[in-house]
Structure 1
Amino acid sequence: MATYTVNYAGFSLTTHQRFTVAKAITKIHADITGAEAYFAQVIFKQLDLHDCFIGGVLLDEPHLFLSGQIRNGRSEQMKKQLLVELEVALQGASGLAGHQIWAYIDEITPGQMVEYGQILPAVGDDSIWFSTLPAGIQKKLNYLNS
């Protein structure tokens, strides 16, 4: 239900740092939204510093750009809290300063999303949706959630 893409340029993230960031994003998303952890996926992409521009000018220092796509239906306060906590976690894991981390949340109507082979439910209908999944998928998701 939530896909977080971490694009970063001008520095490297070790496997351990990527793991730390992925776990932090997943926990923050689950804690704030109430969604199960198995709904959060995190994708990393390292960019060449020379492929990134701000204001038409080539980046001159490392940056990290987080783009999160979440289900529509969360409060403004929840989305703000999500952004603040994500930014703090990214600072801690990457060692970058706040001005080097940019984060965005985009909302998508649940009926326009497919995961685990099923159209996603509206916020609050997760347990009903889960009960319609095949037993093998339920087992996998319970494992991911543990």
Structure 2
Amino acid sequence: MPLYTVTTQAGALGAEAKAGLAAELTRFHSDYAGVPEDWIKIVFLEYPPGNGLSAGKPSATVALTLLIRTGRSPEYKRGLIAQLWQLLQSATGAPDDRIVIGVQEVSPSQAMEMGQIMPEVTG
């Protein structure tokens, strides 16, 4: 179920960098959450220069949104976000003021993957 959406300004990450970041995110999330790697999906989106803004001014902002099943503790999510920050910053070289990460949660009963309703989170 984990669905990562990584949004960057066009050209910020080449194909090799995207593949490397996707591999790191997959390994990390599989280990951290204890889910099979094939559950983890990653989508890269790009926007043209000038279409990213911060404080109303053009900015090559890097955004990562993660959709996960509900049921994880706040401590779990804080640890998750901290590690994702490191992976994203390492891959993009973006400064702290140009990165944003958000976690969205969905009830497992309202998500489906591989033809199956998602199971509840355990542990």
- Per the TM superposition, whether the score is higher than 0.5 is yes
Equivalent residue runs for 1:87-102 within 5 Å: 87-102=85-100
Deviation of residue 124 (structure 1)?
Answer: 2.8
Kindly name which structure, 1 or 2, has the bigger radius of gyration based on alpha carbons: 1
Counterpart CA distance in 2 for 1:69 and 1:21 is 17
More helix by share: 1
2:120 is matched with which residue? 122
Q: Is the deviation greater in 8-17 or in 18-27?
A: 8-17
* Residue in 1 that maps onto 2:24: 24
Contact 2:66 2:103 in 1 (8 A): yes
Q: Which has the higher contact order (CA 8 A, sep 6+)?
A: 2
Residue 18 of structure 1: CA displacement?
A: 0.2
TM-score between both structures, scaled by the size of structure 1: 0.77
Unaligned residue ranges in structure 2 (runs of 5+): none
Structure 1: state its 5+ residue gaps: 126-146
Residues in 1 aligned to 2:100 and 2:10: alpha-carbon distance in whole angstroms: 14
Q: Separation in 2 of the partners of 1:52 and 1:62?
A: 6
Tell me the SS of whatever aligns to 1:50.
coil
Identical-residue share of aligned pairs (%): 28
Matched with 1:58 is 57
Return the alpha-carbon distance in structure 2 between the equivalents of residues 90 and 123 of structure 1: 25
Kindly indicate whether the alpha-carbon contact (under 8 Å) linking 2:52 and 2:61 is maintained by their aligned counterparts in 1.
no
- 2:45 alignment counterpart: 45
One-letter amino acid matched to 1:58: K
Counterparts of 1:62 and 1:115, CA distance in 2: 33
| Aligned residues between the structures | 123
How far apart are the structure 2 equivalents of 1:36 and 1:75?
A: 20
- 1:129 alignment counterpart: none
In structure 2, distance between residues paired with 1:22 and 1:114: 22
